[in-house]
C-alpha cells in the first residue's frame, strides 16, 4: 500500500488535535454535569427519601467491605514495617508509621478504591439500565429533573459519607496494626497506643477527610456520568459500569498524588 507522506503530515496533527479537543470537551461536560447536580441539590423539592436510600447504600452497606479491607491492610502493614524496621533497628517506629500511613494515604485511598468498586459500579449499572429502558425519559415526562432526582442525592451523600467511612476505616486499620503488633510481634499495648498518638498531627486527620471527600465526589460523579452516557442495551450498561470503575480508580490515584502535593508540600 502506498502511503501519501504529505497527507500523513496533516493527518497526525489533526488526529492529535481532535483527541485533545474531545478530551477537553469531555472534562467540561463532566464538570458542568457535576456543578448542575450540586446546584440543583440546593433547590427544593429535595427528594429526602432518595437521600436516605443513598445513605443506606453508600454508607451503611459499604461498612463491611471498608472495615475488612482496613483491618487486614493494617495488620499486613504492621508486619511489613516490623520486618523492614528490624534491618535498621527501627522496630519501635511501627506504631507511628502504621497510624500516619493509614491516616495520610492508605485510609482514604483504600476506602476510595473499595467504594469505587462497589458504589460507582452499582450507580453506573443502575442509571445505565434506567437509561436504556427509558426510565430516565419517563422521569422527565413525569415532570422530574432526572439529574436532580438521581444524581444530586448520590453525589451529595457519597461526598459526605466517604470521609465518615474513611474515619471508621482509619480506626479499624490502626486497630488491625495494633492487634498484630501486640499479639504477634510482642509490642507492649500501652507503648503502642502512646507511640501511635504522639506523632499524629491535626493535619494528618483533616488531610484524610479532605482526600476522602474529593474521592467520594469522583466516585459518584463517574458512576452517574457514565450511567447517563450509556446506550445500546446490555452492552452499553456493561461498558458504563466498567468505565465508571476504571475512571474512578484512575482519578482517585491521580488526585491522591495532587492532593498530597497540595496538602503536604515541604
Partner 1 sequence: MNKNNPHEIVLEIKNLFKKFENKIILNDLNIKISKGKSIGVMGPSGTGKSILLKCILGLTDYNGQILYNGKLLERKNREILYNNSGMLFQGGALFDSLNVWQNISFKIMNNSSAHSKKDSILIAKKMLNEVELGAEIFQNMPSELSGGMQKRVALARAIVNKPNILFFDEPTTGLDPLTTKAINELIINLINKKNVTSLIISHDPLSIQKICDEVIFLTDGKIEWHGNVKEMSNSKHKMLKDYLNSNK
Query: Of the candidates 96, 122, 135, 260, which one interacts with partner 1 according to CB under 8 A?
Result: 135
Name the minimum Å distance from CB 38 to partner 1: 20
Least Å from the CB of residue 46 to partner 1: 11
Is 25 a binding residue for partner 1 by CB under 8 A? The answer is no
Q: Report the residue from 36, 38, 47, 200 that binds partner 1 according to the rule CB under 8 A.
A: 47
51 binds partner 1 (CB under 8 A): no
C-alpha distance from residue 195 to each of 40, 99, 129, 160, 162 (Å): 46, 9, 51, 30, 27
Tell the smallest beta-carbon distance from residue 43 to partner 1 (Å): 14
Question: How many chain residues touch partner 1 (CB under 8 A)?
Answer: 17
DSSP string, 144-203: --HIIIIIHHHHHHHHHHHHHHHHHHHHHHHHHHHHHHHHTS---HHHHHHHHHHT--HH
The whole-angstrom separation of Cα 165 and Cα 107 is: 9
Residue carrying the nine cell digits 469522583 = 218
Q: In terms of CB distance, is 78 or 128 closer to partner 1?
A: 128
Please identify, using beta-carbon distances, which residue of 198 and 232 lies nearer to partner 1. Answer: 232
Q: Does 92 bind partner 1 (CB under 8 A)?
A: no
CA dist 80 and 46 (Å) reads 48
- Find the radius of gyration of the CA atoms of the chain: 23
Q: Which residue has the cell 495494633?
A: 178
CA distance 108 to 255: 11
Quick one: residue 187, left, alpha or beta (phi over 0 = left, psi -120 to 50 = alpha)?
A: beta
Q: Which stretch binds partner 1 (CB under 8 A): 28-36, 97-105, 135-143, 201-209?
A: 135-143
Among 21, 83, 133, 203, binds partner 1 (CB under 8 A): 133
Q: What character string, x for contact with partner 1 (CB under 8 A) and - otherwise, covers 136-155?
A: -xxxxxxxx----x------
Where do contacts with partner 1 occur on this chain (CB under 8 A)? 45, 47, 126, 129-130, 133-135, 137-144, 149
Amino acid at each position: 500500500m502506498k502511503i501519501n507522506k504529505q497527507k500523513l503530515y496533516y493527518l497526525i496533527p489533526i488526529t492529535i488535535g481532535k483527541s485533545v479537543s474531545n478530551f477537553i470537551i469531555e472534562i467540561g461536560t463532566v464538570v458542568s454535569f457535576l456543578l448542575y447536580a450540586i446546584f440543583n441539590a440546593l433547590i427544593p423539592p429535595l427528594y429526602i427519601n432518595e437521600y436516605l436510600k443513598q445513605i443506606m447504600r453508600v454508607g451503611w452497606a459499604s461498612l463491611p467491605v471498608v472495615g475488612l479491607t482496613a483491618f487486614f491492610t493494617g495488620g499486613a502493614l504492621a508486619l511489613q514495617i516490623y520486618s523492614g524496621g528490624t534491618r535498621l533497628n527501627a522496630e519501635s517506629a511501627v506504631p507511628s508509621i502504621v497510624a500516619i500511613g493509614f491516616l495520610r494515604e492508605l485510609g482514604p485511598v483504600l476506602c476510595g478504591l473499595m467504594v469505587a468498586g462497589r458504589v460507582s459500579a452499582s450507580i453506573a449499572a443502575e442509571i445505565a439500565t434506567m437509561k436504556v429502558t427509558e426510565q430516565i425519559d419517563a422521569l422527565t415526562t413525569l415532570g422530574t429533573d432526572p439529574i436532580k432526582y438521581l444524581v444530586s442525592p448520590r453525589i451529595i451523600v457519597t461526598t459526605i459519607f466517604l470521609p465518615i467511612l474513611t474515619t471508621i476505616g482509619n480506626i479499624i486499620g490502626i486497630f488491625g496494626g495494633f492487634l498484630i503488633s501486640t499479639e504477634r510481634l510482642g509490642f507492649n499495648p500501652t507503648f503502642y497506643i502512646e507511640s501511635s498518638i504522639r506523632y499524629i498531627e491535626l493535619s494528618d486527620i483533616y488531610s484524610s477527610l479532605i482526600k476522602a471527600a474529593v474521592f467520594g465526589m469522583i466516585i459518584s460523579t463517574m458512576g452517574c456520568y457514565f450511567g447517563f452516557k450509556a446506550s445500546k442495551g446490555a452492552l452499553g450498561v456493561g461498558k458504563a459500569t466498567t468505565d465508571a470503575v476504571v475512571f474512578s480508580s484512575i482519578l482517585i490515584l491521580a488526585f491522591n498524588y495532587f492532593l498530597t502535593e497540595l496538602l503536604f508540600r515541604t
